Chain A
Amino acid sequence: MLNQLTISELTAKLARREVSSREATQACLDQIARVDGSIHAFISHNAADALAQADAADKEIAAGVKKPLLGVPIAVKDVLAVKGQPLNCASKILGNFISPYDATAIEKLKAAGAIIFGRCNMDEFAMGSSTENSAFGVTKNPWDVTRIPGGSSGGSAAAVAADECIASLGTDTGGSIRQPAALCGCVGLKPTYGRISRYGLVAFASSLDQIGPFTKDVRDSAILLGAMSGVDPRDSTSVPQPVPNYAAALDGNIRGLKIGLPKEYMIGGLDAEVKASVDAAVKKYQELGAEIVEISLPHTDYAVAVYYIIATAEASANLARFDGIRYCARVDGADPMELYSKTRGAGFGAEVKRRIILGTYVLSSGYYDAYYLRAQKVRTLIRNDFLKAFETVDAIVTPTTPTAAFKIGEKSDDPLQMYLSDIFTISCNLAGIPGISLPCGFTKNPKLPIGLQLLGKPFGEETMLKLAHAYEQATPWHQERATV
């Protein structure tokens, strides 16, 4: 089945002319038709447009054109601008918005020959950990449709896990790529802050957001990271750091590399099966020749509190642009003030309203120093914890999530419990370092994926990927597929 292939498998077959891009794209579309009624990974997709792109790619292949992703179907989270396609951020407020331009990451993938198709479901404006906050319905976990796929990029993760695409894109502000990747059993990577341009990504928390790939193996993750990275004059926070050939770093030789095991991550709420899988992974790393070093990240316990001040503060400012003037489903009012309030009141969902209110409050006169400034200072302490640890280790290993996928509805009425489910992924964004989640086992009954998280030094993606790849190749987990 062509839709089950990895990027490297498909591009090899395309290069040998064993298959066409049209066949591969059609296989993804057929799988969507077969399973997406029960998974709901996609808000929408345009089959005719995808096939037209595939035909164009097949013509180029026939003409001998060489591009790294030529003919590979890649699905996109509904928060990234793709010219001519709808963009809703899984919110009602954007109405019938059609993107007038491509995000830089999309532009780069198109230039590399990818077929860009579909709008993957997500928590509204990327705010959530379960994809239950979508105005377009809940996405289901392909391993168990009574459970959440994680979030906010739940649709992108489920689409890869259910083989509805070859790979997909998500965004990660506090774990929104790594957490759903862990819960759906695929590979999800959040790059170093500034590695990939955020131009054309609808901003949630500008100092934390990064775009990244969901893939079926680590090699594909390296391929897509390389294809999207690089400085961009349209994003002044993108960093002019050379882009290495990430896939070339995957040589399996991790002998002598030092991996830190933070003692603060072995917390009370950590599920016994998750802990056992992570312990086994640590042992596997030792067998493969890596050295495990116990480290301390003493401010870990404050990360969730810091995050929910900084992320909501930035969100309240960023989401001010959704006011019903230049775009949005407008609700009329007697004056501009009433128009803004009514448009936003009618258009935003409950979680978005909650975060806008919290963010507005922590930035408001009299509270700024107590909340926002203090949070920024604790952010410094959290970042310093990591920089200190990286003086002695090459990477850090942790569980990605405290538990496997929880039931739909289980935490949706308790925002604080939902926020605490991101406890292992949030520090990475505050520190601006790269992180990856990859499969490291399954719970027994029901069978649900468990994710292993590796965190790297700033711009240390090569070492992080090398370590992820070595473990993946030494274990069977990535070959298991959800039966949908």
Chain B
Amino acid sequence: MASAELDVKYTAHLARLALTPDEEKKLGAQLGNILGYIEKLRELDVSNVEPTAHAVPMVNVTRADEIRPSLPHEDALRNAPRQAGGLFIVPKVVE
């Protein structure tokens, strides 16, 4: 198993999560502690064990491909921080 060294700054970047320097420091210590505890899973031999993603796996759940009623446009936009012309407004993505 990997070492219990967690680069908080880099992981926060992956998670798109702005942290203050104080938060980074505190999280680093706490997560080191938690990862240390998790290391106990190394004790087990899992070489011939299949992973479980869902306890009650349902496969190929399909439905007819047809148009059904859905959330009205204005309802879907109602909680938007910024909207105009029936669209979500976001900062410029491409120059």
Binding site for B on A (CB under 8 A): 95-98, 100-101, 192-194, 207, 233, 236-237, 239, 299, 301-302, 304-306, 308-309, 316, 320, 323-330, 332-342, 344-346, 348, 350, 353-354, 356-358, 360-361, 364, 366-367, 370-371, 373-381, 383, 415-416, 419, 430-433, 458
Separation of A311 and B75 alpha carbons in the complex (Å): 31
Question: Which chain B residues border A98 with CB–CB below 8 Å?
Answer: 78-79
- B18 and A341 within 8 A (CB): yes
Separation of A341 and B88 alpha carbons in the complex (Å): 18
Is chain A's binding surface mostly helix, strand, loop or mixed?
helix
Q: Which 10 A-B pairs have the closest CB atoms?
A: A432-B55, A345-B18, A376-B51, A330-B81, A377-B46, A236-B61, A327-B79, A341-B18, A340-B16, A100-B75
Q: Residue of B at shortest CB range from A417?
A: B33
Give per-residue flags for B32-63: 1 if the beta carbon is below 8 A from chain A beta carbons, else 0: 01110110110010100111111110100101
Q: Residue of A at shortest CB range from B74?
A: A100
Question: Which chain A residues border B93 with CB–CB below 8 Å?
Answer: 335-336
- A380 and B50 within 8 A (CB): yes
- A381 and B17 within 8 A (CB): no
- A305 and B91 within 8 A (CB): no
Q: Residue of A at shortest CB range from B59?
A: A236
Binding site for A on B (CB under 8 A): 1-2, 6, 8, 11-12, 14-20, 23, 27, 30-31, 33-35, 37-38, 40-41, 44, 46, 49-56, 58, 61, 63, 71, 75-76, 78-82, 88, 90-93
- A360 and B54 within 8 A (CB): no
Most chain A Cβ neighbours within 10 Å, of B52, B58, B76: B52
Question: Which chain A residues border B40 with CB–CB below 8 Å?
Answer: 301-302, 305
Separation of A422 and B35 alpha carbons in the complex (Å): 17
Contact of A375 with B44 at beta-carbon distance under 8 Å, contacts A100-B71, A308-B34, A336-B90 already known: no
- B52 and A316 within 8 A (CB): no
Separation of A345 and B21 alpha carbons in the complex (Å): 12
Question: Which chain B residues border A325 with CB–CB below 8 Å?
Answer: 80-81, 88, 90
Question: Which chain A residues border B79 with CB–CB below 8 Å?
Answer: 96-98, 100, 326-327
| Chain A proximity of B25: nearest CB distance (Å) | 13
Separation of A373 and B78 alpha carbons in the complex (Å): 39
Contact of A305 with B38 at beta-carbon distance under 8 Å, contacts A233-B63, A357-B8, A358-B31 already known: yes
| Chain A proximity of B46: nearest CB distance (Å) | 4
- A370 and B54 within 8 A (CB): no
Q: Residue of A at shortest CB range from B62?
A: A236
Question: Which chain B residues border A367 with CB–CB below 8 Å?
Answer: 2
- B81 and A328 within 8 A (CB): yes
Q: Tell which of B19, B58, B78, B92 touches A345, judged by Cβ atoms closer than 8 Å.
A: B19
Q: Tell which of A301, A356, A370, A458 touches B56, judged by Cβ atoms closer than 8 Å.
A: A458
Q: Tell which of B30, B50, B61, B71 touches A377, judged by Cβ atoms closer than 8 Å.
A: B50
- List 21 A–B pairs whose Cβ atoms lie within 8 Å, in order of A's numbering: A97-B79, A98-B78, A100-B79, A237-B56, A239-B58, A304-B37, A305-B37, A305-B41, A309-B38, A327-B79, A328-B81, A335-B93, A339-B91, A344-B18, A357-B11, A364-B14, A374-B41, A374-B46, A379-B52, A380-B52, A432-B55
Question: Which chain B residues border A97 with CB–CB below 8 Å?
Answer: 79
- A194 and B56 within 8 A (CB): yes
Question: Which chain A residues border B50 with CB–CB below 8 Å?
Answer: 377, 380
Most chain A Cβ neighbours within 10 Å, of B31, B35, B63, B79: B79
Question: Which chain A residues border B19 with CB–CB below 8 Å?
Answer: 345, 353
- B33 and A416 within 8 A (CB): yes
Q: Tell which of A96, A357, A366, A378 touches B15, judged by Cβ atoms closer than 8 Å.
A: A357
| Chain A proximity of B13: nearest CB distance (Å) | 8
- A383 and B55 within 8 A (CB): yes
Separation of A345 and B11 alpha carbons in the complex (Å): 13
Separation of A302 and B49 alpha carbons in the complex (Å): 15
Question: Which chain A residues border B49 with CB–CB below 8 Å?
Answer: 377-378, 380-381
- B51 and A377 within 8 A (CB): yes
Question: Which chain B residues border A326 with CB–CB below 8 Å?
Answer: 76, 79-80, 88
Separation of A385 and B77 alpha carbons in the complex (Å): 47
- A207 and B16 within 8 A (CB): no
Q: Residue of B at shortest CB range from A366?
A: B2
Separation of A375 and B39 alpha carbons in the complex (Å): 11
Question: Which chain B residues border A305 with CB–CB below 8 Å?
Answer: 37-38, 40-41
- A353 and B27 within 8 A (CB): yes
| Chain A proximity of B75: nearest CB distance (Å) | 4
- A207 and B46 within 8 A (CB): no
Question: Which chain A residues border B63 with CB–CB below 8 Å?
Answer: 233
Q: Tell which of B8, B16, B80 touches A323, judged by Cβ atoms closer than 8 Å.
A: B16
Contact of A344 with B88 at beta-carbon distance under 8 Å, contacts A353-B27, A361-B6, A373-B51 already known: no
Contact of A332 with B18 at beta-carbon distance under 8 Å, contacts A194-B56, A239-B56, A305-B40 already known: no
